[in-house]
Amino acid sequence: MSDDFKRVESHACPMSTCAAPTGSPCRTGKGKVAIQYHTARYAVGTVTSC
């Protein structure tokens, strides 16, 4: 099983409509778990240092 979700969830979601905290999946506007991460959060979670 891939640990990619851990890398993405190691950062809070930067989307103001989501604002999922570190360690939690992204949420819809109604507070339900989203079927996929917001693109902005995925990008933050997968950036690595040079």
19: left (phi over 0), alpha (psi -120 to 50) or beta: left
pLDDT of 41 reads 79
How many Å apart are CA 49 and CA 26, to the nearest integer? 24
How many Å apart are CA 41 and CA 50, to the nearest integer? 20
How many Å apart are CA 34 and CA 18, to the nearest integer? 9
Consecutive 10-residue averages of pLDDT for the chain (50 residues): 78 86 89 85 60
pLDDT of 16 reads 84
pLDDT of 9 reads 85
Tokens 């103001």 identify what position? 16
Q: Structure pTM?
A: 0.66
The residue count of the chain comes to 50
